[in-house]
Amino acid sequence: MFPKSRLARRIHMAMGREPADLVVENVRVVNVFSGSIMDTCVAVGDGAIVALGDRPTSVRMDGGGRFMIPGLIDAHVHIESSMLTPEHFAAAILPHGTTTVIADPHEIANVLGTQGIEYILDATRDIPLDVRVMLPSCVPATAFEHSGATLSAKDLTPLMDLQGVFGLGEVMNYPGVTSADSDVLDKLLLARNHGYITDGHCPGVMGHDLQAYAAAGITTDHECSTLKEMFERIANGMYVFIREGSASRNLRTLIPGVTPKNMHRCAMCSDDRDPSDLLAKGHMDHNLRLAVQAGLDPIIAVTMATLNPAQCYGMKDKGAIAPGYRADFLLVDDLTGFNVHQVFVGGKEIAKTGHLITSLPEISTQSVGHTVHIAPLTNESLALRLDVQKARVIGLNPHNIVTKALERTLILDDAGCFHPTANPGLSKLAVIERHHGTGSISVGILEGYGITGGAIATTVAHDSHNVVVAGDNDPDMLMAIRHLQTIAGGIAMVHHGKIIGDLPLPIAGLMSDRPVEEVAKGLETLLTRAHEHLHVSRDIHPFMTLSFLALPVIPELKLTDEGLFDVRTFSFTDIGIQESED
């Protein structure tokens, strides 16, 4: 309930009867409503903008002629994918002007269920970054893999009314929507009956299927990779989130499709941004720079990163510099480079010249550790025996998480086993269940990764986050897997029988408790060794690529702990190709 006395004070400050808490002078306000730039002052009081123009105050600040834009909003992000705890994630992005994120914690939920969601809610409650949590709709993402938890509509119901919960996260099971699957419908209705928005995830879905998806009440999609997909979603009343992350970079492709007529249905998101990119490129400020470089009008770009996501999610007091709106804003030097000089949250300065100037609380991570439980393995566990020489192979696309379904003729040993060393250009890939020690494991073949003389293993494997390991020999692959158990999750790298590097991620096997600078440095060291010692292709991100190879909702071929999965048919398929299939 908003107190009457508080409302009266805001009105008195706007009228000049009472002094404002702060007046920022000499600024050029980007007005996202009128599409104009206003040379004016901005009066702030009670955490909100109370007036555009000068007002009495005891605190004045010279904006130095800089541009004032609303606090940036990331319309869709998985905090866990930064490998940082929420407080360290906030410390990394607030200096870049992002003041609000719409976060889907389905990564940690797939490991720890509601316990993981509650950790994210607790860890974000008292930090200056405004985190709006979308309850994960797909835990597990599909029925074709083992995850650490299963969340039904019944499991989600007690969380719906918790502080910080904002809606239902991306619905990746689009076949479940179009077939009116009962469990999927229960979740959609749960969000609808609470008046919440539901996020989408429907790469390649078009025509009748897309209309059924939108008719189900799913409002957004961040998976567009073509202009055709983008235009059809907008025409069907959906919001399109133009994504520029570390793994998927769709901005340059989609920005040419933004026009003055459709821009109000477009927003920006990062989805996944790794710590190295956060340090080197920034966050939503990076997306703004790229959009303007691609030819987008700067005011439209700012609107897509502020007002549009606020309106999409019904945040009525966010996304603009106007009376009554929350005083989340930043000062930038210009509207091309978007160099962030100062950041304010609720009218209080929290970052300056790239540095956070306020302390953040640290939340206990005791409840979200010790999550790597792997059944005993031997070299024999990783053997891949085939009764035919022709096989289905997962082909990598440079700088893209979409894979190719390839067919290759193999050289097998006398026992019918596949060995990468006898098949140049091919690597072995394995996925091992790591939540309950069930022993579920599958082995496949990968082309384009390029690894030689060792193995790389990780517990970051979207979305069920089992262990994924790639290598050219079984002993090194096994050593990398076992080392992950030793460090309680993360990334492990082996070269000729020796551990040559690791990045511990003991929080759910996904996150570190260290600052972004330390995590980024550790990741960069591993990246260099992956390319220089293990010869992983430089067109491939060694770890990000691995982390998406077990995700059976992104085409074309993927490998889960249950087997090789053809996303085109949404079914398992054999690795070996019989002559009758030719």
Q: Each residue of 451-461: pLDDT tens digit?
A: 999 999 999 99
pLDDT band at 36 (very low <50, low <70, confident <90, very high): very high
Q: Is the pLDDT of residue 582 over 80?
A: no
Predicted confidence at residue 464, as pLDDT, reads 93
Bridge partners of 563, per DSSP, are 560
56-65 b/e with 16+ CB inside 10 Å = b? ebeeebebee
Q: Is the pLDDT of residue 185 over 90?
A: yes
Q: Where are the beta strands (DSSP E) in 222-361?
A: 239-243, 266-269, 329-332, 340-345, 348-352, 355-356
pLDDT band at 402 (very low <50, low <70, confident <90, very high): confident
Bridge partners of 51, per DSSP, are 43
Average pLDDT over residues 383-406: 93
Higher-confidence residue of 398 and 194: namely: 194
Which residue shows structure tokens 């030689």?
Answer: 452
Both tokens of residue 319? 């996304």
201-259: pLDDT as tens digits: 998 899 999 999 999 999 999 999 999 999 999 999 999 999 999 878 899 999 999 99
Separation CA 409–CA 418 (nearest Å): 11
Residue 76: CB atoms within 10 Å: 28
Q: Is the pLDDT of residue 580 over 80?
A: no
Separation CA 490–CA 513 (nearest Å): 12
Cα first-last separation, the chain: 68
Tell me where in the chain the CATH 3.20.20.140 domain(s) lie: 70-319
How far, rounded to the nearest angstrom, does the alpha carbon of residue 54 sit from its chain's CA centroid?
A: 41
CATH T-level assignment (fold) for domain 70-319: TIM Barrel (3.20.20)
Predicted confidence at residue 248, as pLDDT, reads 82
What 8-state DSSP symbol labels residue 244? B
Amino acid at 484: L
What 8-state DSSP symbol labels residue 265? G
Residue 182: CB atoms within 10 Å: 9
State the average pLDDT for the chain.
96
76-133: pLDDT as tens digits: 999 999 999 999 999 999 999 999 999 999 999 999 999 999 999 999 999 999 999 9
Q: Is the pLDDT of residue 480 over 70?
A: yes
How far, rounded to the nearest angstrom, does the alpha carbon of residue 373 sit from its chain's CA centroid?
A: 25
Average pLDDT over residues 127-153: 94
Both tokens of residue 364? 């206990």
Predicted confidence at residue 498, as pLDDT, reads 98
Average pLDDT over residues 330-334: 98
Separation CA 407–CA 410 (nearest Å): 10
Q: What share of the chain is helix, strand, coil (3-state, %, to 5)?
A: 30, 30, 40
Alpha-carbon torsion, ordered 325, 331, 335, 339, to 10 deg: -140
Q: Is the pLDDT of residue 284 over 80?
A: yes
Predicted confidence at residue 131, as pLDDT, reads 98
pLDDT band at 436 (very low <50, low <70, confident <90, very high): very high
